Amino acid sequence: MQERISSFSYNKLKFFGIVCIIVTAVTIPLIIPHLAHPSMVYHIILHVASLAIAIFLCFVSVTAYFRGGRTRLLFMALGFIALAILEALLLLSATGNLAEPIIPAVNVELPHVILLVMITLFGLGVLKVN
């Protein structure tokens, strides 16, 4: 039993490493123009790390949902998907590749709406009673 748990943890760690490598490789073109601005680079690296973690948690939570099929796992998976979308928007915004997306009808920034959706989904996942 201990071997299975150790192997399972090792596979997740290996998968997390792969996700980090892929996300970093894809975002290098976004980072290169900002290398002369150290404070900007740190800000962008923070978003790259957050995006990598969010994508990893998306895959893990979606896998858990398909394995377990419980509604609360679905809400948690959707919350992590919203987090990944939010981090992608924030990264693109931090690098200057995307202007602040605003919903004109209510004059609210899109990342704030996604953040509210994410928190709501996590709340539903935690509070859902079967």
Q: Of 81, 99, 80, which is closest to residue 90 (Cα–Cα)?
A: 99
pLDDT tens for 37-95 read: 888 888 899 999 999 999 999 999 998 898 888 888 999 999 999 999 999 999 998 88
DSSP code of residue 32: G
**pLDDT at residue 7 above 70?**
no
Domain with 59 in it: 2-127
pLDDT score recorded for residue 86? 94
Please classify residue 76 by burial: count the beta carbons closer than 10 Å to its beta carbon, then call 0-12 exposed, 13-18 middle and 19+ buried: buried
**pLDDT at residue 8 above 60?**
no
pLDDT score recorded for residue 130? 61
Number of domains in the chain: 1
pLDDT tens for 88-125 read: 999 998 888 888 878 888 888 889 899 999 999 999 98
